[in-house]
Structure 1
């Protein structure tokens, strides 16, 4: 599988936690229970990584790469799914994951952000 580095990359982020949701057959990456990425499959079982992004950035990426689509089974405005057998450059995927982590971290209280980042 391409992008096999994403698990370690997500877990290296400040405050990142990983769990597996059996009902969804998906691995979730979150900060204090707020998800920023999820790895699972689409209805055909194709491996996808679904990532939270700023709506305008997500729309831009979908216009540039055929392997990035609106978030599978998620809010299509804020979530985008990346097919893990696709051809999106690693640096773009890293940028997506960085933004997702930042968005969730910044949504937490200043006190919690300070706890996580210190």
Structure 2
């Protein structure tokens, strides 16, 4: 999946905001002020996307797909990084982005959930 396709998919998720962290050279996607996805590169600048994941599912995905690794510069239990050129089934990446979004959304306060679910998506540059 291409970077602009991922960017567009993330921004379709209700209440998502986007920013670019210059120091990390990474695009970040948030819901209710909490990050659920980050696109950037690994130490060699190979493109990756990092997503929150339920721990047992994260481990299973790492064992199944060579292109899915423990979260790069993130908590290895709760985050996976996926190489953009990884050979994974079509639709899996979108499913994992949605899973990450849902996990983060579920941890927001009820007030933040209500606010996020009623807000229009906006992009910050």
CA contact 1:3–1:90 (8 Å) conserved in 2: no
Does 2:83 match 1:83? yes
Q: Which residues of structure 2 form unaligned runs of 5+? A: 119-125
Query: Which range moves more in the overlay, 107-116 or 6-15?
Result: 107-116
Name the counterpart of 1:101: 101
Separation in structure 2 between the aligned mates of residue 23 and residue 114 of structure 1, nearest angstrom: 32
Separation in structure 2 between the aligned mates of residue 112 and residue 76 of structure 1, nearest angstrom: 26
Which fold has the larger relative contact order, with Cα–Cα distance below 8 Å and residues 6 or more apart in sequence? 2
CA contact 2:32–2:116 (8 Å) conserved in 1: no
CA contact 2:20–2:27 (8 Å) conserved in 1: yes
- Local SS of the residue matching 1:81: strand
Q: Which residues of structure 1 form unaligned runs of 5+? A: none
Give the CA deviation at 1:78.
Answer: 0.5
Give the CA deviation at 1:32.
Answer: 2.4
